[in-house]
């Protein structure tokens, strides 16, 4: 498989987080309507997906260019805190203080490549990520932010909604009760990177970029019809696959459903995907899919295969999620970054606040 980096520029807010399995679903709808996106057609590759995935999408990752350095801000690995400061703390207050600082540092920062070394990696807080982004903004964007009260890298905005009862011409109770919806908005000039593993016999960078461009034009996720989920494409390139030599663990770049027996140790937060259909099936008699329990972004797995990590992704296809579309498939795969995980480390990882 080949690895592509698709860089997107958010234009509006997002009602749905840009996770890998949801991006895969949007790409599938594009391929279903345009058979030129996949050699042999979408139906052919969907049949093979359980054993040979034609595309595996990562979640969107903040990407910062500082001079000649490209920074990727990933979620902090879901490892126990003592993996990050293995030296025993004799003082209880010192141990508590270290735990507090590490909880705030939720971003793992990689430079230029998807190479992870647990001994040299840096962890950033939200405050440090925001400061770095503000530092690189143009003067025009800074002036726009002067009028904003709440400035952060990603801001949650709650929008009130309601339906009007045409008999009473007012809101009311039940289906006419006012309600709130939350959307996420990024700082101006923000860029996000989506990493896509693609089978070269199925598709290529140009066609994946075309599909992503269409998704950005029509809108991604919830409330796309009202203007949310719009983005534009920046540069898109093929990049080298991460080095697997000497690796005994993997960090996942998206939600994953690991196959039974594929790992012997795991650290992750469970994530429940309450999926729903898109396109015309969104208006069907049952637009909702069966829930799927996944390991969320930032999960760490140690494979049970004695040969170690042999594939650039982990997981399996998830079927049986839909009652109105029996052939529906959920992306249970996730791209991975292989790395060396050892019981002890020589030094603590520096924290930036």
Residue 301 has pLDDT above 70, yes or no: yes
Residues of the chain above pLDDT 70, percent: 95
pLDDT at position 90, please? 64
Residue 291 vs residues 264, 280, 281, 318, 346: alpha-carbon distances, Å: 25, 20, 17, 11, 42
Task: Kindly tell me if the per-residue pLDDT of 82 is higher than 90.
Answer: no
Assess contact for 65 and 26: CB atoms under 8 A: no
Asked if residue 350 has pLDDT above 70, the reply is no
Phi then psi dihedrals of residue 280, to 5 deg: -70, -25
Weakest-pLDDT range from 8-17, 218-227, 250-259, 304-313: 304-313
Question: For 198-221, what is each residue's pLDDT tens digit?
Answer: 999 999 999 999 999 999 999 998
Least confident of 27-31, 73-77, 284-288: 284-288
Other Cβ atoms less than 10 A from the Cβ of 237: the count is 11
Tell me if 20 sits within 8 A of 253, measured CB to CB.
yes
Q: For the chain, what is the mean pLDDT?
A: 87
Residues 6+ apart with CB under 8 A from 114: 72, 195, 239, 242, 337
- In tens, the pLDDT along 144-203 reads 887 777 788 888 888 888 888 888 888 888 888 888 888 899 999 999 999 999 999 999
Instruction: Determine the Cα–Cα distance for residues 157 and 223; give it in Å rounded to an integer.
Output: 14
Give the Cα separation of 74 and 299 in Å (integer): 11
What DSSP string describes 17-67?
Answer: ---HHHHHHHHHHHHHH-GGGSTT-HHHHHHTTTTS-SEEEPPPEEEEEET
Assess whether pLDDT exceeds 70 at residue 287.
yes
Mean pLDDT, residues 25-40? 93
Q: Tell me what pLDDT residue 310 has.
A: 86
What pLDDT, on the 0 to 100 scale, is given for residue 346? 40
Q: Is the pLDDT of residue 329 over 70?
A: yes
Q: Record the pTM.
A: 0.90
Element (H, E) at 335: strand 333-339
């Amino acid at each position: 498989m080949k690895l592509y980096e698709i860089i997107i520029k958010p234009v509006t807010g997002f009602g749905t987080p840009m996770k890998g399995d949801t991006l895969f679903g949007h790409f599938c709808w594009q391929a279903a309507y345009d058979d030129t996106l996949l050699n042999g057609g979408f139906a052919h590759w969907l049949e093979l997906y359980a054993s040979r995935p034609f595309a595996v999408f990562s979640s969107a990752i903040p990407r910062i260019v500082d001079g000649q350095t490209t920074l990727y801000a990933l979620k902090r690995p879901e490892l126990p805190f003592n993996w990050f400061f293995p030296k025993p703390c004799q003082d209880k207050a010192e141990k508590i203080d270290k735990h507090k600082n590490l909880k705030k540092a939720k971003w793992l920062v990689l430079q230029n490549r998807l190479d992870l070394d647990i001994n040299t990696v840096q962890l950033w807080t939200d405050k440090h990520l925001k400061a770095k982004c503000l530092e690189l903004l143009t003067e025009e964007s800074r002036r726009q932010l002067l009028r904003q009260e709440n400035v952060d890298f990603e801001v949650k905005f709650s929008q009130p909604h309601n339906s009007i009862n045409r008999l009473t011409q007012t809101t009311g109770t039940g289906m006419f009760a006012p309600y709130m919806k939350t959307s996420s908005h990024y700082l101006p000039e923000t860029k996000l990177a989506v990493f896509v593993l693609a089978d070269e016999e199925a598709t290529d960078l140009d066609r994946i970029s075309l599909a992503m461009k269409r998704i950005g034009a029509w809108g991604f996720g919830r409330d796309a019809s009202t203007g949310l989920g719009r983005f534009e494409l920046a540069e898109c390139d093929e990049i080298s696959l991460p080095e697997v030599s000497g690796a005994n663990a993997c960090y996942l770049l998206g939600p994953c459903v690991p196959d039974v027996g594929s790992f012997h140790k795991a650290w992750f937060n469970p994530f429940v995907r309450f999926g729903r259909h898109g396109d015309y099936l969104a208006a069907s008699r049952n637009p909702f899919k069966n829930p799927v329990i996944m390991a969320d972004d930032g999960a760490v797995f140690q494979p049970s295969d004695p040969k170690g990590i042999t594939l650039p992704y982990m997981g399996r296809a998830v079927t049986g999620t839909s009652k109105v579309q029996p052939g529906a498939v959920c992306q249970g795969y996730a791209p991975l970054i292989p790395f060396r995980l050892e019981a002890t480390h020589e030094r603590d990882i520096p924290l930036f606040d």
